[in-house]
Amino acid sequence: MTPSSWVTAWAGLVPPGATVLDLAAGNGRHTAFFAGRGHRVTAVDRDVSGLSPSDAVEVIQADLEDGSPWPLAGRRFGAIVVTNYLHRPLFPVLFDTLLPGGILLYETFMEGNERFGKPSRPDFLLKDGELLERVRGLFSVTAYEARMISQPKMAMVQRIAARLL
């Protein structure tokens, strides 16, 4: 349940009291992290067995890739965190789900990761510079990295902290 060092490093960009969406939340390591900082968090995943609802945490079970309606239609959040998940068709609706001035914290694997194992399919790997390209003209970028990491395991990742214009 250790949160990503990128998320902890830039969590201070998220204003106190802002609502947070943890997309493809997994076991909820970032849901728990932001709830612990006093935020109301909505956690979405197709497998919610590792997620526990509470006063601060809303859990939504949804498959984000099977063509079902977007489970957060009409809703917007003060921050969105996505880690270790990529489904490219979601980028437009994801950005539409942020309030103006909202914070995007996104970290996932990029091309080159295949030398370390999975994910290795191109669908699951960001292309060179892709996160920057995705936000260009829409967000103000506070921080961006594309690099090899060794913790929690060797991997190639891209990660961004950005504010919706």
Ligand X SMILES: C[S@@+](CC[C@H](N)C(=O)[O-])C[C@H]1O[C@@H](n2cnc3c(N)ncnc32)[C@H](O)[C@@H]1O
Least separation, in Å, of the C-beta of 137 and ligand X? Answer: 26
Closer CB to ligand X, 65 or 96, in the complex:
65
**Beta pairing, strands 41-45 & 57-61:** parallel
- Residues interacting with ligand X, by CB under 6 A? 24-26, 29, 45-47, 63-65, 83-85
Alpha-carbon gap, residue 35 to 50, rounded angstroms: 15
**Beta pairing, strands 155-164 & 139-149:** antiparallel
Alpha-carbon gap, residue 128 to 146, rounded angstroms: 8
Alpha-carbon gap, residue 146 to 152, rounded angstroms: 16
Secondary structure letter of residue 88 according to DSSP: G
Least separation, in Å, of the C-beta of 102 and ligand X? Answer: 18
Q: Which residue has the closest beta carbon to ligand X?
A: 26
Least separation, in Å, of the C-beta of 119 and ligand X? Answer: 8
Least separation, in Å, of the C-beta of 27 and ligand X? Answer: 6
Return the residue matching tokens 């601060």: 56
Alpha-carbon gap, residue 62 to 56, rounded angstroms: 19
Closer CB to ligand X, 47 or 96, in the complex:
47
Closer CB to ligand X, 63 or 140, in the complex:
63
Closer CB to ligand X, 74 or 153, in the complex:
153
